[in-house]
A and B are shown apart, each in its own frame.
Chain A
């Protein structure tokens, strides 16, 4: 049960696109299409942004998109806005009722 690997930081200017990677193994990210992404502002509860690799929950802007290739999942934020500045975490189902988070990526809007 090792944490998924994310870059510690990512940044972009308003209007730009930024992609965050999330690398696991064939036992988690690569083995299931159950990768989700969470946005976390300090002092608030995390918010679900993407589930099942690429699906958006109701109310999440279509600027947020997800994908997966092999053992690596990605979150892309297009048309970056100031309110997108937050920590982002990937999460994957790893089988046998086990889930695992990534280490988190701090997104900065320049």
Chain B
């Protein structure tokens, strides 16, 4: 059973950086792209970017280019998402998601439990 487990809630000051982790289990980690999706309070879901765990290649949403970095550690089947120069607008629930071994092409079938990031002075 594919599962994604994320790190705990974070509180950061404006201008700081935050790094959230997402550990995968129950499927072959390197076989499926993984995504980061966020939802700010009262807003919709926003695709932030994707990482190919097999080679670390990434693609980020244009809006976040230059402030977001996604990496992976194949030895622990974990991906990381770091956002720098945090602003109040980055306050959100952050999710990792993947197809996770399913045949549901280009969809996100398995989701982490979410990590709350609060940016406040």
Residues of chain A touching chain B, judged by Cβ–Cβ distance below 8 Å, are 1, 3, 32, 34, 36, 38, 40, 45-48, 51-52, 55, 57, 87, 89, 91, 93, 96-104
Contact between B102 and A101, CB atoms less than 8 A apart: no
Inside 8 A of A102's CB, which chain B residues have their CB? 44
Assess whether B107 is in contact with A89, with CB atoms less than 8 Å apart. no
Flag if A52 contacts B63 (CB, 8 Å): no
Q: Is B61 an interface residue (CB 8 A)?
A: yes
Give the CA-CA distance A96 to B45 in the complex, in Å: 20
B46 at the interface (CB under 8 A from A): yes
96-121 of chain B: CB within 8 A of chain A: 97, 102, 104-109, 111-114
Assess the B59–A98 pair: CB atoms within 8 A: yes
B55, chain A: closest CB distance, angstroms: 12
Complex formed: what's the CA distance from A101 to B97 in Å? 14
Give the interface of B toward A (CB within 8 A).
Answer: 33, 35, 37, 44-47, 50, 52, 57, 59, 61-63, 95, 97, 102, 104-109, 111-114
Kindly list chain B residues whose C-beta atoms are within 8 Å of the C-beta of A55.
104
Chain B residues whose C-beta falls within 8 Å of the C-beta of A97 in the assembled complex: 33, 50, 52, 57, 59
Contacts of B47 in A (CB 8 A): 91, 98-101
Q: How far is the CA of A89 from the CA of B107 in the complex (A)?
A: 12
CA distance A100 to B106 in the complex (A): 11
Q: Which of A87, A93, A98, A100 counts the most B-chain CB atoms under 10 A from its CB? A: A98
Which chain A residues lie closer than 8 Å to B106 at the CB level? 32, 34, 36, 51-52, 93, 99
Q: CA A51 – CA B109 in complex, angstroms?
A: 9
Distance in angstroms between the alpha carbons of A5 and B52 in the assembled complex: 28
Q: Are B45 and A89 in contact (CB under 8 A)?
A: yes
B114 touching A45 by the CB < 8 A rule? yes
Chain B residues with CB under 8 Å of A89's CB are 44-45
Identify which of B50, B62, B104, B114 contacts A99 (C-beta below 8 A).
B50
In angstroms, Cα B52 to Cα A34, docked, is 18
CA distance in complex: A87, B42 (Å): 11
